[in-house]
Structure 1
Amino acid sequence: MDLDQLRTFDRIVREQSFTRAAAHLNITQATASMRMRALEGLLGVTLFRRGRTVTLTDQGMTFLPYARRIIGTAQEGREALRRVERGRIAIASLRSLVTPLITEPLLRFQAKYPGVDVVVNEGRQSQIAAMLHERDVEMGILCWPNIDPLVVDLVPLLVMRERVPLVVSPEIAARLPATPSIEEVLALVPRVISLRWWQAEPETAAALVRLAKTSVELPTGPARRLAIKGEGLGFFVSSAIADDVAAGRLVEIAPTNFEPLHRDTAMVVRSTAALERVMLADFVAEIARECADVGMIVENRLAETTKS
Structure 2
Amino acid sequence: MDLDQLRTFDQIVRDQSFTRAAARLNITQATASMRIRALEQLLGVTLFVRGRQVSLTDQGMTFLPFARRILGTAQEGREALRRVERGRIAIASLRSLVSPLITEALLRFQERYRDVDVVVNEGRQAQIVAMLHERAVEMGILCWPNLDPLVVDLEPLLIMRERVPLVVAPEVAARLPARPTIDEVLAEVPRVISLRWWQVEPETAAALTRMARTSVELPTGPARRLAVKGEGLGFFVNSAVADDIAAGRLVEIAPVDFAPLHRDTAMVVRSAAVLERQMLADFVNEIARECAKVGEVLDNRLAGSESAAA
Give the aligned partner of residue 159 of structure 2.
159
Asked if the contact 1:133–1:150 (Cα under 8 Å) also holds between the matched residues in 2, the reply is no
Which ranges in structure 1 are unaligned for 5 or more consecutive residues? none
**Matching residue's letter, 1:147:** L
Give the aligned partner of residue 78 of structure 2.
78
> Aligned ranges for residues 91-240 of structure 1 at < 5 Å?
91-240=91-240
Whole-angstrom CA distance in 2 between matches of 1:303 and 1:238: 24
**Matching residue's letter, 1:231:** E
Whole-angstrom CA distance in 2 between matches of 1:285 and 1:275: 10
Asked if the contact 1:272–1:305 (Cα under 8 Å) also holds between the matched residues in 2, the reply is no
**Partner secondary structure for residue 206 of structure 1:** helix
Asked if the contact 2:143–2:266 (Cα under 8 Å) also holds between the matched residues in 1, the reply is yes
User: 1:69-88 CA deviation, whole Å, 9 max, x = no partner?
Assistant: 11111111111111111111
Q: CA deviation at 1:296?
A: 3.0
Whole-angstrom CA distance in 2 between matches of 1:51 and 1:7: 21
Whole-angstrom CA distance in 2 between matches of 1:58 and 1:256: 51
Whole-angstrom CA distance in 2 between matches of 1:238 and 1:179: 21
Asked if the contact 1:195–1:219 (Cα under 8 Å) also holds between the matched residues in 2, the reply is yes
Q: State the TM-score, normalizing by the size of structure 1.
A: 0.96
Q: Which segment drifts farther, 296-305 or 148-157?
A: 296-305
Give the aligned partner of residue 5 of structure 1.
5
Whole-angstrom CA distance in 1 between matches of 2:102 and 2:150: 25
Whole-angstrom CA distance in 2 between matches of 1:240 and 1:87: 32
Whole-angstrom CA distance in 1 between matches of 2:218 and 2:92: 21
Shift in CA distance, 33/183, structure 1 to aligned 2, threshold 3 Å = same
Q: CA deviation at 1:20?
A: 0.9
Give the aligned partner of residue 35 of structure 2.
35
**Partner secondary structure for residue 302 of structure 1:** coil
**Partner secondary structure for residue 187 of structure 1:** helix
User: 1:35-71 CA deviation, whole Å, 9 max, x = no partner?
Assistant: 1111111111111122222111111111111111111
Q: CA deviation at 1:116?
A: 0.5
Whole-angstrom CA distance in 1 between matches of 2:97 and 2:163: 13
User: 1:119-167 CA deviation, whole Å, 9 max, x = no partner?
Assistant: 0011111111111111111000011111122321111111101110000
Q: CA deviation at 1:249?
A: 1.0
Q: State the TM-score, normalizing by the size of structure 2.
A: 0.96
Structure 1 runs, 4 residues or longer, greater than 2 Å off: 292-296, 303-306
Whole-angstrom CA distance in 2 between matches of 1:244 and 1:225: 10
Q: CA deviation at 1:303?
A: 3.6
Give the aligned partner of residue 57 of structure 1.
57
Q: CA deviation at 1:271?
A: 0.5
Whole-angstrom CA distance in 1 between matches of 2:93 and 2:150: 17
**Partner secondary structure for residue 93 of structure 2:** strand
Give the aligned partner of residue 272 of structure 2.
272
Whole-angstrom CA distance in 2 between matches of 1:305 and 1:41: 52
Whole-angstrom CA distance in 2 between matches of 1:265 and 1:212: 28
Which ranges in structure 2 are unaligned for 5 or more consecutive residues? none
Q: CA deviation at 1:304?
A: 5.6
Whole-angstrom CA distance in 2 between matches of 1:203 and 1:10: 33
**Matching residue's letter, 2:214:** T
Q: CA deviation at 1:305?
A: 9.1
Root-mean-square deviation (Å)? 1.4
Q: Which segment drifts farther, 209-218 or 109-118?
A: 209-218
Whole-angstrom CA distance in 2 between matches of 1:150 and 1:50: 20
Asked if the contact 2:239–2:294 (Cα under 8 Å) also holds between the matched residues in 1, the reply is no
Shift in CA distance, 239/294, structure 1 to aligned 2, threshold 3 Å = closer
**Partner secondary structure for residue 63 of structure 1:** helix
Give aligned-pair identity as a percent. 83
Q: CA deviation at 1:294?
A: 3.9
Asked if the contact 1:157–1:267 (Cα under 8 Å) also holds between the matched residues in 2, the reply is yes
User: 1:87-110 CA deviation, whole Å, 9 max, x = no partner?
Assistant: 110001111111111001101111
Asked if the contact 1:157–1:305 (Cα under 8 Å) also holds between the matched residues in 2, the reply is no
